[in-house]
């Protein structure tokens, strides 16, 4: 982790782990959502992580990333900017290229979890991780594989779960800072999982107990209960990825507002809706008042 001493994402997670609370890592898709997230963090004195998917960075390029970094880093509370699920060379090359121009994410998920084996995962991820670290960018990796996505949801099978005994070696081999374990969590809806989400808390406990990884990130949090969030944080998760919980109220408020109000008024309503949803998460994760 040399070269990452003052890394903003890692500093936020270090304090969260010490204080045993979780950090809301929220995906945003446009400038107003980014603004709403920053305002919410400031209002509740909560640290936060603003996340962008590669597709959003592809669309907005350097100027949009610059905007996100500017508003996050200028905030009165610590907020970092993270690229979520950089799964292909195009996304990683764009992010690294922007960093070389001085427009740098604080952290990037170098996601090679599509690899067939751990060795292949490591071989794909390491060159990018080294380039990120040289630019002061922290990295997140995934061991095991989360199922789900926009379409074609499948129930995860045992073979895809993270093996805690392999995690320490995997983190050492990749040199990454944050691990996204596969514990039965999945992207998308849990509606089709019989009995609802079945998170193997013993995997988190094992990873935490032996201090095998620096930081743990929970993916696949749509529809999960407040208790499950709390349990995962108690078992060592410090970065909590959220997508639809804040995004959907924003979209609903915007869509409804536009039918009866002016666009600026509808946008105000949408920002307010995202902020209110964020407040709930800061309280739930325990980060409110920690900045
Ligand atoms: Zn994810």
Tell me, in angstroms, the distance from the centre of ligand 1 to residue 82's CA. 12
Query: Which pLDDT band holds residue 144 (cuts at 50, 70, 90)?
Result: confident
Residue of 48, 56, 42, 6 lying closest to 24 (CA atoms): 48
Tell me, in angstroms, the distance from the centre of ligand 1 to residue 269's CA. 28
CATH code of 2-244, in short, is 3.20.20.70
8 A C-beta contact, residue 86 and residue 93: no
Query: Which pLDDT band holds residue 238 (cuts at 50, 70, 90)?
Result: very high
Helices 31-43 and 263-285 pack at an angle, to 10 degrees, of 50
The token duo for 3 is: 């070269």
For residue range 86-120, list pLDDT tens digits in order.
999 999 999 999 999 999 999 999 999 888 889 99
* Residue 84 falls in the annotated catalytic set: yes
Tell me, in angstroms, the distance from the centre of ligand 1 to residue 47's CA. 20
Contacting residues for 210 by C-beta, under 8 A, at least 6 apart: 164, 168
Residue 218: pLDDT above 70? yes
| Separation of alpha carbons 209 and 232, rounded Å | 14
Looking at residues 18-32, what average pLDDT do you find? 97
Considering the entire predicted model, what is its pTM? 0.95
Tell me, in angstroms, the distance from the centre of ligand 1 to residue 135's CA. 24
| Separation of alpha carbons 32 and 112, rounded Å | 31
In this prediction, residue 193 carries a pLDDT of: 82
Which of these is catalytic: 30, 70, 84, 227? 84
User: Residue 274, exposed/middle/buried by CB under 10 A (0-12, 13-18, 19+)?
Assistant: buried
Residue 154: pLDDT above 50? no
Tell me, in angstroms, the distance from the centre of ligand 1 to residue 243's CA. 9
* Between 150 and 136, residue with greater pLDDT: 136
- CB atoms < 10 A from the CB of 104, how many? 19
Percentage of the residues of the chain whose pLDDT score is greater than 70: 94
H or E element at residue 252: helix 244-260
Residue 153: pLDDT above 50? no
Residue ranges of domains in the chain: 2-244
């Amino acid at each position: 982790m040399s070269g990452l001493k003052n890394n903003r994402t890692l500093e936020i997670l270090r304090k969260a782990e010490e204080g045993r609370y979780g950090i809301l890592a929220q995906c945003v898709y446009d400038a107003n959502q980014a603004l709403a997230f920053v305002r919410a963090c400031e209002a509740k004195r909560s640290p936060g992580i603003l996340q962008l998917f590669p597709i959003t960075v592809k669309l907005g390029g350097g100027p949009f990333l610059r905007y996100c970094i500017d508003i996050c880093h200028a905030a009165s509370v610590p907020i970092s900017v993270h690229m979520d699920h950089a799964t292909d060379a195009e996304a990683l090359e764009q992010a690294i290229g922007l960093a070389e121009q001085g427009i740098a994410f604080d952290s990037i998920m170098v996601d090679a979890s599509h690899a067939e084996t751990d060795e292949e995962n490591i071989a794909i991820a390491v060159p990018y991780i080294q380039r990120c670290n040289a630019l002061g960018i922290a990295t997140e990796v995934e061991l095991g594989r989360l199922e789900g996505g926009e379409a074609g949801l499948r129930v995860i099978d045992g073979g895809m779960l993270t093996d805690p005994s392999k995690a320490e070696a995997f983190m050492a081999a990749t040199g990454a800072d944050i691990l996204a374990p596969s514990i039965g969590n999945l992207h998308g809806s849990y509606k089709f999982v019989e009995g609802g989400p079945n998170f193997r808390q013993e995997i988190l406990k094992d990873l935490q107990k032996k201090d095998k990884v620096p930081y743990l990130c929970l993916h696949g949090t749509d529809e999960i209960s407040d208790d499950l969030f709390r349990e995962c944080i108690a078992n060592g998760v410090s970065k909590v990825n959220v997508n639809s919980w804040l995004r959907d109220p924003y979209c609903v408020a915007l869509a409804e507002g536009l039918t009866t109000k002016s666009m600026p008024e509808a946008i105000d309503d949408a920002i307010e809706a995202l902020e209110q949803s964020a407040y709930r998460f800061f309280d739930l994760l325990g980060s409110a008042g920690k900045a």
